[in-house]
Copies of this chain bind each other. A is one copy, B any other.
Amino acid sequence: MVFVKENFTEQQLDKQCLFCKDDCCVSCFGRDGGLLFRKLSRPDLDQLVSSKYSVRFKPGETILKQNTISSNIVCFRKGIAKVYVEGINDKNLILKVIKDTGIITSGILINNSIRPYTVSAVTEVECCFISSDKIMELFSADRQFAISLIEHYHDMSNHMFNTLVNLTVKYMPGRVADTILYLKNDIFRENPFMVPFSRQELAEMSAMTKESFVRILKEFKTSKLIKSDGKYIEILDEEALIEISING
C-alpha cells in the first residue's frame, strides 16, 4: 500500500487509522484548533500516532509544571485544562483555557528554555504526550508541517498579545467582560454555558481578586447584561458587553 501525501477529512481519519483504539488519531491529531497535524502525510501521521502515549489526569492534577523542562509536546483530547502562571504571593494568572483539543508545545522544541507556566486539569483530562524529537524530525522533513508549526507559534503569540493588552489597559469591568466573552465565544461556544471554574479561577483569568470579580458580575446581572445561576452564565446583551470591553 502506497501512501500519498494529502489532507484527510475526519471521516477518512476515522476509517483509516491503524492505531485508533481510543479514537486518538482524529481527536488529537486530526482536528486541533491550530490544525498543526492536519496536513501531515499518512505515514508520518501513523508514525506519530504509534509513538505517542496517552495519559489521563484527574481534576486538579498538574499536567506540566512551571519552571521545569520536558521534552514532550502535549496534545489534548478531552476535558478542560487551564494554563496559568504561578506568581508571587499565590497570585495566579490564568492565560488560557483548553477545552477538548489543543496543543502545548515545549520550549525544549527550540532551545531548551524553561517552561514559564503550569498546565493543570480542571475536569478529567485525556491527552497524549509526544516526544519533541519526533516533532523536530517532521519539522525538518515536511515543509508544510514546518509552516503549520510556525502558525501555531504565531497564534500563541497573538493570543498572548491580546491578553497582555486587555489586562493592562482596561479597567475591571472591561476585563470581566473579556473573560465572559472569551468563555462563551472561544471555549464553550453555546449560550447558557456551564462554567467549570471557581470564582477564584475566573478572577485569575481577569487579573483581579475574587471579590472584585463577584461584584462586577453582580453589576452585570442587575444591568441585565447577563443571567447567572451558580455554575451557569448566560449572556443576554452581547453588544453591551463588547461595548464595555472596548471602552475599557
Contacts and interface: CB of A to CB of B under 8 A. Distances in A.
Contacts of A87: 165, 169
Given A88-B169, A88-B248, A116 B154 contact: no
A33 to B, nearest CB: 14
A95 B157 CA distance: 13
Tell me whether chain A's interface is mostly helix, strand or loop, or mixed. helix
Interface stretch (A14-22, A142-150, A185-193): A142-150
Contact of A207 (B95, B147, B161, B168): B168
A89 B153 CA distance: 30
A109 B95 CA distance: 25
Contacts of A154: 107, 109-111, 113, 153
Contacts of A116: 158, 161-162, 165
Nearest to A157: B157
Contacts of A147: 110, 139
Given A91-B169, A163-B164, A165-B85, A151 B110 contact: yes
A167 B165 CA distance: 10
Interface residues of A, number: 41
A242 interface: no
Number of copies: 2
A193 to B, nearest CB: 25
Interface in A228-248: 246-248
A156 interface: yes
Contact of A153 (B157, B161, B247): B157
Contacts of A110: 147, 150-151, 154
A140 interface: yes
Contacts of A130: none
Given A150-B150, A153-B150, A248-B89, A168 B167 contact: yes
Nearest to A92: B169
Given A146-B146, A160-B160, A168 B168 contact: yes
Contacts of A49: none
A164 B247 CA distance: 20
B168 A246 contact: no
A93 interface: yes
13 contacts: A87-B165, A87-B169, A88-B169, A93-B168, A93-B169, A95-B164, A110-B150, A116-B162, A150-B150, A150-B153, A156-B157, A157-B160, A167-B167
